[in-house]
Amino acid sequence: MEKAPQTILAQALGWLEPVSGGVIPSIPMSSTFAREGDLSYRAGRVYIRADNPAFEQAEAMLSALEGAQASALFASGMAACTAAILALEPGDHIVAPSVMYWALAAWLGSTAARFGIETTFAPLHQEGALAGALRPGRTKLVWVESPANPLWCITDIAEAAARTHGCGARLIVDSTVATPLLTQPLALGADLVMHSATKALNGHSDLCAGMLATAAKDTFWERILDNRARLGAISGSMEAWLLVRGMRTLHLRVERACANALALAQRLETHPAIAQVLYPGLPSFEGHELAKRQMRNGFGSMLSIRVRGGPEAAIAAAAGCTLWKRATSLGGVESLIEHRASVEGPHSPCPPDLLRLSVGCEALEDLWADLEAALTC
């Protein structure tokens, strides 16, 4: 019988330590594996860079949650992204959103171009934008992020998949913010899904990792795995073990953080110091109806606010918080606040009066009291 996501996570697929029967598997630390006398490998493993058994539980969990044929663990979200993009050929063309994770956008515009891979950025959450950006015969990959950091734009994944496949290209969806509990891109037609596992999948701000899941174990997937091994884009065994430990409470953390985020968004929307709240769960949000159709069990833990009074007022509000931590990242149990334009620089799509909030699992009233005090001081 198919198990619910909550059971998959809490039980971590029910894996046991094969030697002792422990309910928490141990951490395999060996970097290399012995050959038999006939030069074969007992378990089919050669070297840790390509054959680390520590990765398998986290990968199997993500595959079960995403309905994927296979998953792969990487050293970071950026390592997962670049391994997929470098599986393309020189001369290939990518379409990517104009609102997306800023570090990947910068890499696409610089390093990827040096590999002969061209990128067109377009507002993919807007109707007709993808169709206008595709280049039949040249476009080989479409990258979608939904909700898209830091404005939380929602892109219609099913429509993007249909248009992408009609052009003979593959669709990859960055679903870091949604997590597999809120959106399953593969079920909507995507070919691959990417997660910065540093964020909500782990949820404790104590490791760096990335993951890819695929709908098909095809030649493109094999090239991605080859990139992971040959470029050394691997996570460590301890990080893999910590990731499994974090994933076991993902359902609890996502439920609490989503509830907190929605309540805060609703309160902030009527606060006199706030000009606008960007959150997919609000009816006033441009992509709300699509988010209702495409997401389930909540709208995520991320929201942004635009502060009346401009960038100086926004920076002062962030500085006035004592409970919210002024730090870069998202998806952890602790709540974070950040003046995003300062981080992303002059090419950021962020308005200078915008603060990005990663809502955690604290008591709602404590989070609200701290924000309200900072906004009214």
133 phi and psi, to 5 degrees? -95, -20
Question: Could you say which of 174, 191, 353, 370 is catalytic?
Answer: 174
Q: What angle do CA 12, 18, 22 make, to 5 degrees?
A: 60
**Residue 140: active-site member:** no
CB distance 161 to 190 below 8 Å: yes
Q: What's the gap between Cα 330 and its chain centre?
A: 10
Residue 49 falls in the annotated catalytic set: yes
**Residue 71, by phi and psi: left (phi above 0), alpha (psi -120 to 50) or beta?**
beta
101 assigned to active site: yes
The CA distance from 65 to 3, in Å, is 10
Coil vs helix vs strand at 107: helix
* 232's tokens: 């050394």
Would residue 41 show up in a list of annotated catalytic residues for this protein? no
> Which residues touch 353 (CB under 8 Å, ≥6 apart)?
275, 306, 307, 308, 309, 310, 311, 313, 314
The 8-class DSSP code of residue 323 comes to: S
> Measured between alpha carbons, how far is 131 from 135 in angstroms, rounded to an integer?
9
The residues assigned a catalytic role are 49, 101, 174, 199
